[in-house]
C-alpha cells in the first residue's frame, strides 16, 4: 500500500547547515498510498524515483520520513535515515520500481 518518493538528484542548500534541512539524494521525500498518482510537478523533473511496496502500510516505513529535532522541537536534520543512493543506482536496483520491506531495509542507513 505504500509508495515511496525518493530524491535522486542533489538538492543543496546555500550552506552545509541549510543542506541538512533539505532532502538529499536517497532521502524519502514523502510516502503515499501506492494508488496515489505522482503528479507532473514531481514526476517530470527527473529528480525523483518512485518505489512501490505492495501490501506494506505507510506506518511500516514512516521511520524513513522521520526528522531529527532538538529538545525544544526545532528541526536539526530533515531526515534521520536515507536510502543508499549508490546502491539504488547500481545494476541490481536501478531498474526496480517495486521492492519488499526487507529489501528497503537492506538499503536503509543512518544519514551521516
Partner 1 sequence: MAVTFVAASTVAAVAANPPTVNLTLPALNGLDIIIIDISSNNIVEASNEIDTPSGYTEFGTKHEVDGSAAADDRRQGTFWKRAVAADSGATVTISRQGTDTTLLAGVASVWRGAVREGSPFDATTATNASNSATGDIISFPAYDPVATDVHVVYTGWKADDATTALADFTNDSTTFTIRNDQEGTTGNDFTYGLWSANRTGAPLSAINATATGTDGACLGKAFALIPFVNSSVTVTTTIGSSGTYSTPQLWEDGSSADLTTAEKSAAGTFAVAALQRGETLTWTTGGATAKLLETDSTGAGNGTYITYGIISGTPGAGTVTGGTSTGTCVSTYADPLNTGVIWRGECQNQEFSGAGTQLTVSGSTSASTAYKECTTVAGASFRDHANKLTNALRYDSANGCGIRVTGSDSEVVSMNESNARLSSIQCQAPTINSKALNISGADPLVEFCLCEGTDIAQGAVLAQGSGILRNTVIIQRGSAAASILRGGIGVGFVYNCTLVASDDLATAPTAVLECSAGGTITVQNCGLFAGDSTKAVTAGSATFNFTTCYSDISGTSGVTQTTYGNEFQNVNDATRDFRLKTGAAQIDTGTTDATNAPVDIVGTTRPKQAAYDVGAWEFQALGSSMFLTLGVGR
Q: Which residues bind partner 1 (CB under 8 A)?
A: 5, 7, 9, 11-14, 18-23, 29-33, 36-42, 44-47, 57-59, 61-62, 65-67, 72-75, 78
Shortest Å, Cβ 13 to partner 1? 5
CB 39, min distance to partner 1, A: 5
Distance CA 76, CA 65 (A): 14
d(CA 30, CA 44): 16
The count of C-alpha atoms lying within 13 angstroms of the C-alpha of 108, restricted to the half-sphere facing its C-beta, is: 18
Rank residues 34 and 92 by Cβ distance to partner 1 and give the closer one: 34
Nearer to partner 1, 21 or 92 (CB): 21
**63 vs 92 by CB, closer to partner 1:** 63
Could you tell me the smallest distance in angstroms from the CB atom of residue 89 to partner 1?
Answer: 16
Amino acid at each position: 500500500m505504500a509508495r515511496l518518493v525518493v530524491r535522486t538528484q542533489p538538492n543543496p542548500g546555500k550552506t552545509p547547515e541549510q543542506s541538512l534541512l533539505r532532502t538529499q539524494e536517497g532521502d524519502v521525500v514523502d510516502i503515499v498510498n501506492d494508488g496515489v498518482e505522482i503528479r507532473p510537478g514531481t514526476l517530470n523533473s527527473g529528480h525523483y524515483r518512485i518505489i512501490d511496496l505492495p501490501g506494506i502500510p505507510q506506518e511500516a516505513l514512516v521511520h524513513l520520513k522521520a526528522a531529527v529535532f532538538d529538545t525544544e522541537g526545532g528541526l536539526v536534520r530533515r531526515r534521520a535515515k536515507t536510502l543508499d543512493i549508490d546502491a539504488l543506482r547500481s545494476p541490481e536496483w536501478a531498474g526496480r520500481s517495486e521492492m519488499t520491506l526487507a529489501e528497503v531495509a537492506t538499503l536503509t542507513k543512518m544519514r551521516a
